[in-house]
Amino acid sequence: MLVRKLGSIARLSDEERRAVMRLPMTIRPLPGGHDVVCEHDCPMQCCLILDGWASRYQLLAEGRRQIFSFHIPGDIPDLQSLHLRVMDHSLCALTPVTLAFIPHEAIRDLTTGYPGIAATLWRDTLVDGAIFREWMVGMGRRSAYQAVAHLFCEIYVKLEAVGLAENHRYKLPITQVDIADALGLSNVHVNRVLRQLREENLVVLRNGWLNILNWPELAKISEFDPLYLHVDRLTA
Amino acid sequence: MLVRKLGSIARLSDEERRAVMRLPMTIRPLPGGHDVVCEHDCPMQCCLILDGWASRYQLLAEGRRQIFSFHIPGDIPDLQSLHLRVMDHSLCALTPVTLAFIPHEAIRDLTTGYPGIAATLWRDTLVDGAIFREWMVGMGRRSAYQAVAHLFCEIYVKLEAVGLAENHRYKLPITQVDIADALGLSNVHVNRVLRQLREENLVVLRNGWLNILNWPELAKISEFDPLYLHVDRLTA
DNA sequence: CGCTCTCTTGATAGACTTCAATGTTAGTGG
DNA sequence: CCACTAACATTGAAGTCTATCAAGAGAGCG
């Protein structure tokens, strides 16, 4: 899985591929809703998502919550702990997940020995940052309607890039509250936006499945430009 | 300058220090308001800010703008171009700036030869991302009042960390429009929030100088916790 | 079957925006 | 030294988007 992920970002030499394969991993399932790491933790390992969804978030006073990102299989959502000792946010499983834990030390040895792999992982954190910026645009300068549409576009492109979605349709195992906390909205308003999107025959979200009925229009109204996802590396 | 910056993040060995000193640089001044790199550019160099302020931003339809970050001397605001070919946002000088341009190739050679330096720069992009996340919290889950206060706290800590501010007072060479575009607000509302902060004897912004009159209270109302800036490395 | 979680909808309220006008400051040139 | 300009800051009034509160409807689960 990791080889596949890294290979999708940059070409790996055979030697690099073997080195990645040698990484020690502890595979462990975790039930949905459970935290993987919490704010203020100082983890000694990173995790690779083999199956399921996760999200990074932070809790604030009065029950407020901000979700920073959604993660899908192939992601390493806590790669930052490799170089930042203390977690400044938490990571939780949105669904039951299967995680492969890799000790920091092993990753550090790998990146020291193979600068190309270091660059590839580094690039991953840069894309991570690019997605944060795009979410900032959504919260700061887009309407709730556009923001929700944009999120659905983004998730589709990410899922499709790793072969987990096609035909503008995908499993979206998150609640409306999650969407609200990701976009800085209230759950009530998310519900209304979803209804509007449904009534306009753009998107239908039902029973955990998202169906994009009119992709061109959805991308247009949300001003979606996938450039920031930088999935173009190999095709460019 | 670069040595100082990197040294403030992690200890450099003498050899690493010498390698950094050998980096080829082209120093060039730029007038305020000018773009350094634009969205869709494919730069072949990064720039280190020697003097002045810069900001990263994106323009949207109907004159909307989202500012992603403010940068001060010592920052390398376009480090992402090292690994992401196409710029997904722009970088402009907020004030007249002095920039040191370093070719990508030189940085790549450096990071390949010195994994410790690679890790240090990588860490820098991780902190960059952490700041984005905190801004997301501000736009998504904090009131305008809190968000403005939080921004002032953040900038102070960043400036103080590089010795450019003390006594809870600093030069803030940005307009209210800039603040609005950074926080996803209107300039009118920023003005009102500033008035409120002034009337409550918390912060005064006048003639480009920011004066924090009551730091503890300001940090408290904005829920400011500097953990996410990760300036603790050497002291921890 | 009852419990809990999530979704849905209406009514009301508040935060923030937009529009528009005026005041202020700094810089420029006569 | 003063008029003139341009950019930035300030204020009021009106409007809109989104939040909050509240209540009911489904859906999944032991």
pLDDT in tens, B42-71: 999 999 999 999 999 999 999 999 999 999
Answer yes or no: do B186 and B98 share one domain. Answer: no
Q: Given B69, B94, B125, which residue is the final one in a domain?
A: B125
**CATH number for the domain harbouring residue B63:** 2.60.120.10
Least CA distance to B82: which residue of chain A?
A123
Do B201 and B101 lie in one domain? The reply is no
The span from the CA of B150 to the CA of B221, in Å, is 8
User: Residues B10, B118: contact at Cβ < 8 Å?
Assistant: no
Q: Which domain CATH number covers A165? A: 1.10.10.10
Question: Do B19 and B114 have their domain in common?
Answer: yes
Compute the count of residue pairs across chains A and B with CB atoms less than 8 Å apart. 136
- Per the structure, the complete domain to which residue A222 belongs is given by 142-229
Same domain, A114 and A186: no
User: Are B163 and B78 part of one and the same domain?
Assistant: no
Is B235 among the domain residues?
Answer: no
Question: Same structural domain for residues A98 and A178?
Answer: no
> How many domains would you assign to chain B?
2
Q: Is B186 on the interface with A (CB under 8 A)?
A: no
- Residue A136 included in any domain: no
**Same domain for B113 and B198?**
no
The residue whose two tokens read 């991302």 is: B129
Which strands make up the sheet holding A45-51, listed edge to edge?
A26-30, A97-103, A45-51
B136, part of any domain: no
The whole-number pLDDT of residue A12 equals 80
Question: In three state form, how does the secondary structure of chain A look?
Answer: CHHHHHHHHCCCCHHHHHHHHCCCCEEEEECCCCEEECCCCCCCEEEEEEECCEEEEEECHHHCEEEEEEECCCCCCCHHHHCCCCCCCEEEECCCEEEEEEEHHHHHHHHHHCHHHHHHHHHHHHHHHHHHHHHHHHHHHCCHHHHHHHHHHHHHHHHHHCCCCECCEEECCCCHHHHHHHHCCCHHHHHHHHHHHHHCCCEEEECCEEEECCHHHHHHHCCCCHHHHCCCCCCC
Same domain, A14 and A119: yes
Q: Does A131 touch chain B (CB under 8 A)?
A: no
Do B7 and B106 reside in the same domain of the chain? yes
- Do A180 and A115 share a domain, yes or no? no
A69-120 per-position pLDDT tens digit:
999 999 999 999 999 999 999 999 999 999 999 999 999 999 999 999 999 9
Q: Tokens 């209107």 label which residue?
A: B186
Report the predicted TM-score, pTM, of the whole model to 2 decimal places.
Answer: 0.95
In this prediction, residue B191 has a pLDDT band, given cuts at 50, 70 and 90, of: very high
Q: Is residue A234 part of a domain?
A: no
CA–C1' gap, A134 and C10, in angstroms: 34
Q: Which residues, 6+ apart, have CB-to-CB distance to B167 below 8 Å?
A: none
Q: Which nucleotides on strand C sit less than 7 A from a protein beta carbon?
A: 5-11, 15-20, 25-26
Reported as a single tens digit per residue, the pLDDT across B141-186 is 999 999 999 999 999 999 999 889 999 999 999 999 999 999 999 9
Mark whether B166 and B78 lie in a shared domain. Answer: no
CB contact under 8 A, B84 and A123: yes
Q: Which helix (H) or strand (E) holds B209?
A: strand B209-212
* B60·A232 Cβ contact <8 A: no
Q: Give pLDDT tens digits for B3-18.
A: 666 666 667 888 988 9
The average confidence (pLDDT) of chain A is 93
* B11 & B104 share domain: yes
Q: Of the candidates B99, B125, B151, which is a domain's last residue?
A: B125
Give me the phi and psi of B65, to 5 degrees please.
Answer: -145, 140
Please tell me the predicted confidence (pLDDT) of residue B231: 86
